[in-house]
Amino acid sequence: EYCPGGYHPLTFGEWLHQGRYFCTRKLGWGQFSTVWLAWDNLEKRFVALKVIKSAQQYADVARDEMRLLVEVRRHHSQEGIIGADRVVQMLDSFTLTGPNGNHQCMVFDVLGVTLLKLIAESDYKGIPLTHVRQVIRQVLEGLHYLHAVCGVIHCDIKPENILLATTQDQVRRLAAEAFDLVESGRSLPASFTCSCSLALRRRRSLCFWDKVRYSILGPEDVGLPAHLKDDNDMRRQLLVAADPLGPSSVVIADLGNACYIDNHFSDEIQTRQYRCYEVLIGGEYGPSADIWSVACVAYELATGRFLFSAQANEHGSVTENHLAAIDALLGPVPKHIALSGHLSRRIYMHDGQLRPDLKQASTSIEKLLMKESGMDATEAGKFSDFLKYLLDLDWKKRPSAYEALQHPWLKN
Ligand code: ATP
Ligand code: MG
Ligand code: MG
C-alpha cells in the first residue's frame, strides 16, 4: 500500500515539517494511516505522528476527525474540568508531500497498549475488579469531558480504542532501540520503517547519529535488551511496566467515528458488540450510546468475555439475535421503547412482544458473573447493579457519564 494514494514511506532519520519532527520508527498502522514515533524538536518531547494515506477518500475522513479533535482540544485549557486528560489530544497538524501524494499528519501524545491487549494477556479471564473500577472511572471521566464539555459523542467505545498512557521515559527506550539498530548497521526490520534499504542508503557516519542521539536521548541512554525484538507485540510491551495498571492511567483514543451531539454523521454507529439498544432498533440516539458501550467494556474487562456476542443462525440475523439476547438479559422491554425504532417491527410484534421464534432463555447479569466468571454472590450483585444502571434500555433515562460516576460501585 506504499503507492500513489496510499501510505507515505517514512524512514528513520527524516526531519519533517521544516525540521520540527525527527522520525524514528513505526508504532502502528491502520486502514487509513501509519503512525510513527517522532521527536518534537520544538517542544523537546516524543510524539506520535499519524500520517494519513493520500487518496481523497482518506483525506476527507481525516478532515472530519481533525475537526472533532480541534473541538476537543479547544476546551482542554479551561480550568477545573474533569476528564480532559482522559481523551487523546491532537497537539499539531500539518501536510506532508511525498512520492505518493499529499498526506495529512496529526500529532498526538505517545500512548501505550490497548485494553484489548490487557484482556488478551489475562488469557481472556479478565483483570482484577479493582483495576476494572479504576479504568472505568477514568473512561467515564473522559466521556464526561467529551459529552458535557465538547458536545461530542465518541461512537466507538471498545477495548481497542482505550489505551494506556505512557511516560516520556518509557517512550525513550523505544527510540533508543531504533538508534541501536541503525548504529549496528543491521538492516531495519519492517516494523521499524517501511523501507529498510532507504534507511540504510541514507545512513550517515556514526558520529553524525551519535550527535543526534545525544541531543534527543541525552547522556543517560537507556539500557536495552540484548536481543532486539522485531515482534510488534513484544515491542509494545516495553511501553507497559510490570504492573501495567499500578501507576498508569488510560486515555480514550480514535475519534475517527465520533460525531457532534447535535450533528450526527450516521444512523449506524459503534462496533457491533458494543452497539446500544436504540441503534440496534434503528432509533434515535445521543451521548448515552457511549454509556451503553462502557457497560459492555466493563463486563469484558472483568470477565474476558463479550457481554453480547450474537451470531446469525436459522432463527435470525445477527442484529435480531443480538436484540433477543438483550431481551433475555434485560427484558422484557417496555412496549413504547421496543417499538420506537424504524427496525422495531422486524423483531417485535404489534403488542411489543419479541417474535416468539427469536426468544432465548432469560438470565441475569448476576448469574452470568457467578456462573461464567466464578464471582462471589456479593461482588456479582454490586457489579451487576452498576452494569444494569448503565444498560437502561431507555436512552433518555440512561445515566450521563457524570451521574454514572456517582454510582456506589465506583465509590468503593
Ligand atoms: P483504523 O483502521 O483503526 O481506523 P487508523 O488508520 O485510523 O486505523 P489508528 O487506529 O489511529 O489508525 O492508529 C493505528 C495504530 O497506530 C493503532 O492501532 C496503534 O497501534 C497505533 N497508534 C495510534 N495512535 C497512537 C498513539 N498516539 N501512540 C501510540 N500508538 C498509536
Ligand atoms: Mg483504530
Ligand atoms: Mg481510524
User: pLDDT tens digit string along 305-355?
Assistant: 999 999 999 989 999 999 999 999 999 999 999 999 999 999 999 999 999
Q: What pTM was estimated for this model as a whole?
A: 0.88
Residue spans of alpha helices (H) in 43-167:
56-74, 115-121, 129-144
| Cα-to-centroid distance, 253 and ligand 3 (Å) | 10
- Ligand 1, closest atom to CA 112? 29
pLDDT value, residue 225: 46
Query: Grid coordinates standing for 301?
Result: 474487562
Q: What is the mean pLDDT of the chain?
A: 88
Q: Ligand 2 centroid vs 35 CA: distance in angstroms?
A: 11
Asked if residue 111 has its Cβ within 6 Å of ligand 1, the reply is yes
Closest atom of ligand 1 to 31 CA is 2
Q: Is the CB of 292 under 6 A from ligand 1?
A: no
Ligand with smallest separation from the Cα of 114 = 1
Only one residue has cell 522485531, namely 230
Q: For residue 391, report the distance from its CA to the centre of ligand 1, in Å.
A: 29
> What local confidence, expressed as pLDDT, does residue 193 receive?
52
Virtual torsion, Cα 128, 130, 136, 138, nearest 10 deg: -130
Calculate the alpha carbon distances from 174 to 47, 165, 187, 251, 343 in Å: 12, 15, 17, 20, 49
Taking alpha carbons only, the member of 88, 94, 70, 91 closest to residue 8 is: 94
Determine whether the shortest distance from the Cβ of 30 to ligand 1 is under 6 A.
yes
3-state secondary structure of 155: coil
Q: Is 281 in the pocket of ligand 1 (CB under 6 A)?
A: no
CA 88 from centroid of its chain's CA atoms: 9
Q: What's the pLDDT tens digit per position in 1-56?
A: 888 889 988 888 889 999 999 999 888 888 899 999 999 999 999 999 999 999 99
Measured in angstroms, how far is the CA atom of residue 27 from the centroid of ligand 1? 8
- Given ligand 1 and candidates 158, 254, 257, which is best to mutate, with the most ligand atoms within 8 Å of its CB? 254
pLDDT of 308 reads 97
Model pLDDT, residue 227:
45
From the CB of 27, is ligand 1 less than 6 Å away? yes
Instruction: Name the pLDDT band for 173 (thresholds 50, 70, 90).
Output: confident
Active-site residue list: 156
To the question of whether residue 367 is assigned a binding role by annotation, the answer is no
Residue 142 has pLDDT above 50, yes or no: yes
29 CB within 6 A, ligand 1: yes
- Say which ligand is closest to the CA of 37: 1
